[in-house]
Chain A
Amino acid sequence: MTATLSAGATPAMDRLISRTVEKHRPLSVHFDLTYRCNERCVHCYLDHDDHGELTTAECLKVLDDLARSGTLFLTFSGGEIFLRPDLYEILAAARRLHFDVSLKTNALLVTPERAARLCEFGVRRVQISVYSDVPAVHDAITKVPGSLERTLAAIPILLEYGLQVKLACPLMQENLMAYRGVMALAEKLGIPYILDLTITPMMDGTSGPLAHRASVPSLLPVLRDAALHACKPQPSAQASAAVNALPPTLGSAASSGMESPAYEDLPCSAGHNSCYISPYGDVFPCVQLPQAAGNLRREKFDDIWYHAPQLERLRAIRESQLPICSRCEIRSYCERCPGLALMEGGDLLGAYERACALAEEKARLAGVAVPVSALHGGRDTASIQTTPEAEFAFLAADSSSD
């Protein structure tokens, strides 16, 4: 018998992920406390009206249940979380229950006093949405004049109180080429950032936000950008172990969070060791997979997590058994999302145009001569050329769902 203590980076996180995936422990939970927001971002997938948010007592009960179930990584988001008047009460409870807490916010309401409270309650990391370093671009997306200035003013305040800050930059038509400015901004501030090409339908399935999604052809300059390839997340130092499997690497361009070998042959972590809880108590496998497995006002978390048929079905899915994607020759270039497969293709197990078109471009950029996804396998590909101009023309002619 020896009592041991070990610490480390990726191997430690891999072991934790393996254990929790194998036994279906809800290691990581994304909990939206409100859908209300003080911005009106053009690409947002949420209905900002309050349809009956969980009360403070109900939120605290959820936290108790999650702690008992083994959740360690807890992300509070929204909507704008600072619009919850009981935010600090909820954070205090999360601290008492020893969660590792991250927040997502637009930071418009951050003040030194509020940053001090976040510090007091042990919040480790704050992710802030920044769409551009150019006010006109950012503010046109948020529809709040002056929002970039206020958001950026919050960052040094949060840093001063010892909070880790990360910039998140969803890329869409309106700000597609702004990523270089956001990268430079993050590097100047000495903080990590993440670029995200995912624009999703509304949670009710309507497609409004997709009108803002950048087309695959328009993404080619981004996909080709050597600066992004040069600063892909590195398995660096000890810090990488603890951040929801997303290394907080300075200059990280993008990460699917699925680097762990524990996820091999699984579509993603959703329903295996992570889930999403809405402000109304609905439990989903993921915020991008809006199939409610149950509601915490009517059922205990464990009863939903371990017995909901929706989650059991999801857990049975293996990548190697997907009817179309399992035979795709460029699968390794694909970032297929089961939720988007459902929302955009109508089939949780299916292929969908956006993912296939992006995978083909990534494969082409990696040197695959004639990259054709399984979804497109039946098409005539004889005219495909590999010169950049021809790629662009082909894609423009063969437009995807964008």
Chain B
Amino acid sequence: MSTPATVFWQKNPALAWREIDGETVIISPNDSVMHELNDTGSFLWKNIDGKKSAVELAELLLENYEVTPDIALSDTQALLEEMSSRKLLVTVPAIGGVSP
């Protein structure tokens, strides 16, 4: 994973989104694309608050789902990277400020 472990993850504030029956739907406004998250993706999405790193999010996943630590971390990192590539997330340096 290319993103340093010290960054926190934050939802792109421009997005529209809603969790409906455990699954999250996200609309990116500029291109009107709809994105869907499954149950575990929605769990991570709910916990992405600009104050947690990938490792911390993976730990939450580990506490709430039957999964090994390695898979929790790799799944979390993969999802964060994918969402970041789609501009659904931004990273926040631990000392403040939002990176592009």
Contact = CB atoms under 8 A, between A and B. Distances in A.
Centre residue among B15, B35, B71, B82 by max chain A CB count within 10 A: B35
A19 B19 CA distance: 12
Contacts of B17: 72, 98
Interface in B61-100: 61, 65-67, 71, 75-76, 78-79, 82-83, 86, 88
Contacts of B78: 3
B20 A27 contact: yes
Interface size class of A (residues with CB under 8 A): 35 or more
Interface of B: 14-21, 23, 25, 27, 29-38, 40-41, 43-44, 61, 65-67, 71, 75-76, 78-79, 82-83, 86, 88
Interface stretch (A224-232, A235-243, A289-297, A391-399): A235-243
Contacts of B66: 1
A5 B16 contact: no
A122 B18 contact: no
Contacts of B88: 5
Contact of B16 (A2, A9, A15, A124): A124
A8 B28 CA distance: 12
A238 B33 contact: yes
Nearest to B86: A7
A98 B32 contact: no
Nearest to B71: A1
A169 to B, nearest CB: 22
A70 B18 contact: yes
A2 B75 contact: yes
Contact of B20 (A4, A25, A101, A248): A25
Given A1-B66, A2-B75, A12-B34, A124 B41 contact: no
A34 interface: no
A3 B34 contact: no
Contact of B25 (A16, A162, A164, A248): A16
Contacts of A243: 32
A71 B28 CA distance: 16
A133 interface: no
Contacts of A239: 31-33
Given A1-B40, A2-B40, A3-B75, A70 B34 contact: no
Given A1-B65, A3-B78, A19-B20, 16 more contacts: A1-B40, A1-B66, A3-B44, A3-B79, A4-B40, A5-B79, A5-B82, A5-B83, A5-B88, A6-B36, A16-B36, A70-B19, A100-B16, A100-B29, A164-B32, A239-B33
A208 to B, nearest CB: 37
Contacts of B40: 1-4
Contacts of A70: 18-21
A93 to B, nearest CB: 14
Contacts of A16: 20, 25, 34, 36
A7 B75 contact: no
A239 B27 CA distance: 10
A375 interface: no
Contact of B29 (A3, A4, A122): A122
B32 A124 contact: yes
Nearest to B79: A3
Interface in A220-270: 238-239, 241-243, 248
A99 interface: yes
A9 B27 CA distance: 11
A19 B34 contact: no
B12 to A, nearest CB: 11
Contacts of A12: 34-36
Contacts of A7: 33-36, 86
B78 to A, nearest CB: 8
B20 A13 contact: no
Nearest to A100: B16
A124 B29 contact: yes
Interface in A95-150: 98-101, 122, 124
A134 B61 CA distance: 61
A41 B10 CA distance: 46
Nearest to A123: B29
B32 A72 contact: no
Contacts of B19: 70
A379 interface: no
A193 to B, nearest CB: 17
